[in-house]
Amino acid sequence: MNKSDNIGLLNDLLNYSHDMVFIIRIDNGHIEHVNQTSLDNIGYTLKEMNDIGLDSFRRPIDKDEPFLQHLQDLKLKNSLTDYAYVIRKDGTEFPIEVNAKLIHRSGVDYNVAIVRDITERMEAEKKLQDLNKNLELLVIKKTSELQKNVAFLKSYKRAMDESNIVSKSDLNGMITYVNNKFCEVTGYTKEEVIGRPHSIVRHPDSDSKIFRELWNDLRTRQPWQGILKNKKKDGSHYWVDINILPIIDDKGEVLEYMAVRHEITELIDQRETLQKIATTDTLTNLGNRYKLINDIALLENPSIAILDIERFSEINDFYGDSFGDIVIKELGYTLLNLIKDRSTKQLYRLQNDVFAILNLSLNKDHFIANIEDIIEKIENITYKIDGKELMLNIRSSISFEKNNLFITADMAMKSAKKNRINMLVYDEGLNLDSVYENNIKYTNKLREAIESDNLVPYYQAIVNNKTGKWEKYESLVRMIDENKKIITPFFFLEIAKRTKHYETLTKTVIKKTFDTFNNTDIEFSINLTIKDIMNKNIQNYICDLLQTYNVNNQVVFEIVESEGIDNYDEVIAFINQVKKHACKIAIDDFGTGYSNFNYLLKLQADYIKIDGSLIKNIDTDMNARILVKTIVNFAKELNISTIAEYVENSTIYEIVKDLGIDYSQGYFFSAPLEFPDFTK
């Protein structure tokens, strides 16, 4: 590369530099050269700059110093840094930082100045100054607040120590601190546990997987929360709701771990009692329908046999209900003895005179043969009860249809009764014409009701048991047919689900109910299935209505417990969304199964509605009364209000009030009404 090429390259570098470059004679202040960046930023040509003089577009920041004086200072110092403002041709100005260097060439002194636009820097410095000033004020304020709160913190620590079990450990899990409550609950002294691992209180029943997850979370600096079964010094157990927090220093390093526990032994024991009661038939002590549903869900290829006593109603009518109860218990004992191998079959009582045998592992032919043998042996037994002799005839249906086990077994039973067959195994060839005819009938009725806007909500009062006031209402869907007859959802709800009308039905009830209670202060509840909650269209529809209508603080969404929840995350996300609008959550049909006890630990329920099957017999069934009392106590522990359904007479109402249930609902007060009565 020759000399001219080098000069050209240098000129290009200067012209395209981000900084402005000036070459100025020291003796007279004449600008010999500027780069293109200078011309672009300032707007003057080189000639115009020299014509008006540097002092015309340069304004010193610190002092009113002419530019020639600045040049003389440079001559003395050889280099300097200066700050000023540059005034553009259009009159605007911007701050600059000047790094000047004295250069001698051919007997002439030059100022080679690298000029940088520092607008962004000065703005940043100004913001920083403002932030510092605000920070100083904030520090003063926070220091004052901190000083005021020190005494409160000491009080809080004392309160936490008195009500919670607190311990600390080092990074290896060795205990470094326990409070007095820890010693009181566990039975250990501080000296016995300091320096020992936390496993000293681990109960042998605890799943080691839980502790692996616990340590995985803590090692990633995440807190861990859960429910653990712990062991006392004397070997007895206690349950805790525990939060473990990593204590982190200012460098982000974990110093130690703190565990804060709240003892919930009584609550857990109550839950286990409730679970046992709620899944056990009170007459026979066999598993009930809900236990069977849960057990079926655990099997890959379940099959069942349903056993029904023929003409059992005649036995009850002739000998009385007490005699009938003894017959049911005797048959239960017989079936248990005949089943023998419980690893292959399990026995349940579903309702009244209906039992079910769940096949755990037998092949199809073996299971059928086994049921035939059981029925034959039962029908050869003579029962002697209260001096009377009785022989039973059993009718049975069997299904191996995994996806519709109950439905198909029930279909087979109906067909067996109709055709007077002792035992029938379901197959697709069964005569179901009448079922299909009924389905078609109500499918047409439902479609016509939707087209003519004849899906309507009816409202049943929920009464405050302390004041007697009709305080709330539950919205219940009804269909008005072509003859103006009011039809309950028993006849069309399942059909709506199968014919894809269910979403329309749900939206219609919600919209019309919101219309009824808009701009009132009356609380009302709407039933939602898990299918509703998981439906994004319905979710969005509800959220839109909550924003449009004036019903905040009034809406209660009743989640139908019997449906079960597979994806808690989505359900909880929906609950969190509607609770932003001050909506409340109720768990419907509480007590009909035991999955609902887990619900209460995960869902933010405000109400539980105690199932009507427990309430309607509470005046004669002591087991039902014990279960309801346990549920009420359980709810009070969790600060959840209770509602009794199926309150049909004054006797039941008085029992419900005596048990401490907060609200009642039933025909004793009113049937569902076309319009709510706001006067009561």
What's the whole-number mean pLDDT along residues 181-210? 86
Distance separating alpha carbons of residues 170 and 253, to the nearest angstrom: 13
- Is the pLDDT reported for residue 598 higher than 70? no
Instruction: Give the C-alpha separation, 186 to 193, whole Å.
Output: 10
Using the predicted structure, report yes or no on whether residue 1 has a pLDDT greater than 50: no
Q: Tokens at residue 406, please?
A: 């109950």
Q: Average pLDDT for residues 206-229, to the nearest whole number?
A: 83
How far is C-alpha 315 from the geometric centre of its chain's CA atoms? 50
Q: Give mean pLDDT, residues 451-462.
A: 93
Position 572 confidence tier, pLDDT thresholds 50, 70, 90: confident
- 520 backbone φψ class: left, alpha, beta (φ>0; ψ -120 to 50): beta
CATH classification number, 435-664, choose in 3.40.50.1370, 3.40.50.300, 3.20.20.450, 3.40.50.720: 3.20.20.450
* pLDDT given for residue 460 in this prediction: 94
Query: What are the φ/ψ torsions at residue 243 (nearest 5 degrees)?
Result: -120, 125
Topology at the third CATH level for domain 13-117 = Beta-Lactamase (3.30.450)
Average pLDDT of the segment spanning 528-532: 87
Count Cα neighbours of 175 within 13 Å in the Cβ-side half-sphere. Answer: 22
Helix (H, G, I), strand (E, B) or coil at 135: helix
Q: Per DSSP, what are the bridge partners of residue 174?
A: 197
Q: Quote the pLDDT of residue 299.
A: 87
Distance CA 519, CA 550 (A): 5
SS3 string of 21-66? EEEEECCCCCEEEECHHHHHHHCCCHHHHHHHCHHHHEEECCCCCC
The 10s digit of each residue's pLDDT in 295-311 is: 888 888 889 999 998 88
Whether the predicted pLDDT of 557 surpasses 90: yes
Q: Which pLDDT value is given to residue 389?
A: 83
What pLDDT, on a 0 to 100 scale, did the predictor assign at position 2? 54
Adjacent-strand bridge partners of 113:
22, 100
Please compute the mean of the pLDDT values over residues 201-221 and round it to a whole number: 83
Say what the pLDDT of residue 594 is: 42
- How far apart (Å, rounded) are the C-alpha atoms in residues 156 and 622? 46
pLDDT tier, 149 (very low <50, low <70, confident <90, very high otherwise): low
Instruction: With CA atoms as reference, report the closest residue to 391 among 283, 305, 312.
Output: 312
In degrees, to the nearest 5, what angle opens at C-alpha 652 toward C-alphas 646 and 658? Answer: 120
Q: What does the pLDDT read at residue 167?
A: 87
CATH of domain 271-431: 3.30.70.270
Cβ contacts of 335-341, under 8 Å, gap ≥ 24:
335/307, 335/374, 335/378, 336/286, 338/373, 338/374, 338/377, 338/378, 339/374
Radius of gyration of the chain, Cα coordinates, nearest whole angstrom: 41
The rounded mean pLDDT for the chain is 84
145 token code pair: 């607040």
* Contact (CB, 8 A) for 582 and 591: no
pLDDT at 656 over 80: yes
Residue 452 has pLDDT above 50, yes or no: yes
DSSP 329-354: HHHHHHHHHHH--TTTEEEEEEETTE
Among residues 399, 404, 496, the alpha carbon closest in space to that of 447 is found at 496
DSSP three-state, residue 215: helix
Which residues, in sequence order, are bridge partners of residue 237?
Answer: 231
With bands split at pLDDT 50, 70 and 90, how would you rate the model's confidence at 562?
very low
- Between these two residues, 537 and 149, which has the higher pLDDT value? 537
The predicted pLDDT at position 469 comes to: 93
Whether 215 and 254 have beta carbons less than 8 Å apart is answered as no
Q: How many CA atoms lie within 13 A of 321 on its CB side?
A: 4
Between 102-106, 115-119, 177-181, 623-627, the lowest mean confidence (pLDDT) is in 623-627
Residues 402 and 301: beta-carbon distance below 8 Å: yes
Nearest CA to 656 among 613, 610, 623? 610
pLDDT at 600: 66
Amino acid occupying residue 316: N
Amino acid at 635: A
Interval 606-610 mean pLDDT: 91
Taking the C-alpha atoms of residue 115 and residue 124, their distance in angstroms, rounded to an integer, is 19
pLDDT tens string 394-436: 989 999 888 778 888 888 888 788 777 778 888 766 645 555 5
Residue 595's pLDDT is what?
Answer: 44
The band of 536, judged by pLDDT with boundaries at 50, 70 and 90, is: very high
Q: Which of 230-234, 254-258, 599-603 has the lowest mean pLDDT?
A: 599-603
The CATH classification number of 164-263 equals 3.30.450.20
Question: What is the per-residue pLDDT across 279-288, written as a single tens digit (0 to 9) for each?
Answer: 888 888 888 8
Q: Which residue has the higher pLDDT, 260 or 523?
A: 523
Q: Residue 192 CB: number of other CB atoms within 10 A?
A: 15
Under the banding of pLDDT at 50, 70 and 90, the label for residue 260 is confident
What is the structure's pLDDT at 434? Answer: 54
CB atoms near residue 469 (< 10 Å): 12
pLDDT in tens, 472-529: 999 999 999 888 888 888 778 878 887 778 899 999 999 999 999 998 899 999 999 8
